Structure 1
Amino acid sequence: MNILLIAILFVAAYLIGSICTAVWLGKWYYGIDIRKHGSGNSGATNTFRVLGKKPGTIVMLIDIFKGWAATSLANVLLLFDAIPADNLIIFQLLMGMLAVVGHIFPVYERFKGGKGVATLLGMMLAIQPEAALVCIVIFVVVLLLSKYVSLGSMIAALAFPMLLLLHPHFHPDNPILIIFGFILFAIVVITHRKNINRLIAGEESKANITIGRKK
């Protein structure tokens, strides 16, 4: 193994995940810190809520791309024979995980970031696109029925490892993907713990996007 190249790409994956799309877009183009408005979260959902549909979509797509790009760096290791081919999935998971951690704890913004759901989706799209697309459908259905983004995110996150575990079409050759799926679901639950408390108390805000105006 090429330890130096692996270390460089690990750092790169974290730095890609640390790109604070919502914060930077809000500051540079709208003149506000997204973390001081709405839910105070620097993710796509709060961007939709505070700034509107167009900036929210931009943030969501870039955050998804962050996860996909960081996870895909593992292919560079394979290209340069830095890792054995049968270890590719492990390094995809590690690099994707680093991107998610970077999104939640971004070095550029004093380690105060978002919840990582969109970046996690990008990671899953890079590793198992078919199951990830099913999870997107599940998220949309739950969102339409409940109007809760947080609930849709958590159910979709759980659906990913469950699909891998129970559905023959998605069952991976390497069971480590299933294990990581449940770990990532746990991360989504942890980052949504305040939402869970509000859901239980009946105080969680339902999806109600307000179109913001550029300053």
Structure 2
Amino acid sequence: MAVELNIANMDTVLVILLALSAFILGGCPFSVWVGKWAMRTDIRRYGDGNPGSSNVFKAGSKKWGVVALVLDIMKGVPFVLIGRMVFGLGQPLLYLIAFSAVLGHAYSPFLGFRGGKALAVFGGSLLGLAQWDVILSLIMLFLLGFLFIGNDAWTVILGMVGSLIMLLLTRAELLECVFIACITLLFFIKQLHDLRAPNRPGRLIDWVRSRKKAA
């Protein structure tokens, strides 16, 4: 009994350490640091003012934008992967670690608990979890949103809701659905201001209209 309790306590400490480490790594504002050190600018002065990789692109550098995007994605991978591949943790604990990474980016301890919208980190956490079907469904839904919805915030939210519906219809694993639902709620909170903005025609509609005018 004592041995079992010690093992349980060790597992608890391990999960706490991995989740805390994921939160701290997720909170590292790599995009801000890339802007500061490589571009000599504060990327939060551009775009929507968030410390995410999209504003590195908007600050005028595709090269450093790609670097920042890759770094943001990779923040969601290491500790989820360690928990899964090294320690063989179950899915519920891996979801906790993955959510911690996303939460760290959204509320960075390095930026006064302010942060970005965390979409890239979430993508990285899905890579760590090896949730390939979720990744594929999100890519397809985001692409459709990109073409038909002018408001990117709504594209993200509707894509997440669509992915959640897909999970409910296919395998309906409770904890996986709760994980996606919590991420969706977090995205909703982080993008609330953008969701209130007037919707614009999607890129495909804009393209069709421009072709008609040109004709």
TM-score range, shorter chain: 0.7 to 0.9
Distance 2:137 2:70 in 1: 18
Q: Which residue number in structure 1 is paired with residue 207 of structure 2?
A: none
Task: Map Cα deviations across residues 123-178 of structure 1 (whole Å, 9 max, x no partner).
Answer: 22333122212211221221133343322222222222111111x3xx25x42111
CA contact (8 A) 1:16 1:70 kept: no
Distance 2:79 2:181 in 1: 20
Alignment of 1:163 onto 2:166: yes
SS of 1:43's equivalent in the other structure is: coil
Distance 2:67 2:162 in 1: 25
Distance 1:95 1:50 in 2: 32
Distance 1:44 1:133 in 2: 21
Alignment of 1:72 onto 2:81: yes
Choose 108-117 or 96-105, whichever is displaced more.
108-117
Q: Which residue number in structure 2 is paired with residue 211 of structure 1?
A: none
TM-score, length of structure 2 as denominator length: 0.80
One-letter amino acid of the structure 2 residue matched with residue 115 of structure 1: K
Distance 1:153 1:107 in 2: 25
RMSD: 2.2
CA contact (8 A) 1:5 1:77 kept: no
Residue 131 of structure 1 is aligned with which of 122, 131, 134? Answer: 134
Q: Which residue number in structure 2 is paired with residue 48 of structure 1?
A: 57
* 187 and 96 in structure 1: CA distance in 2 versus 1, 3 angstrom threshold: same
List runs of 5+ in structure 1 lacking aligned partners: 207-215
TM-score, length of structure 1 as denominator length: 0.80
* 70 and 156 in structure 1: CA distance in 2 versus 1, 3 angstrom threshold: farther
CA contact (8 A) 1:18 1:103 kept: yes
Aligned 1:15-164 pairs, distance under 5 A: 15-75=24-84, 78-79=87-88, 88-127=90-129, 128-164=131-167
Higher relative contact order (CA 8 A, sep 6+): 1
Distance 1:54 1:69 in 2: 24
Q: Which residue number in structure 2 is paired with residue 10 of structure 1?
A: 19
Distance 1:194 1:152 in 2: 14
Query: How many Å apart are 1:55 and its aligned residue?
Result: 2.2
Task: Map Cα deviations across residues 20-55 of structure 1 (whole Å, 9 max, x no partner).
Answer: 121000000011111122211111222222233322
* 183 and 5 in structure 1: CA distance in 2 versus 1, 3 angstrom threshold: closer
Q: Which residue number in structure 2 is paired with residue 194 of structure 1?
A: 193
Choose 141-150 or 56-65, whichever is displaced more.
141-150
* 199 and 29 in structure 1: CA distance in 2 versus 1, 3 angstrom threshold: same
Choose 10-19 or 66-75, whichever is displaced more.
66-75
CA contact (8 A) 2:151 2:195 kept: no
CA contact (8 A) 1:143 1:151 kept: no
CA contact (8 A) 1:161 1:179 kept: no
Distance 2:139 2:126 in 1: 11
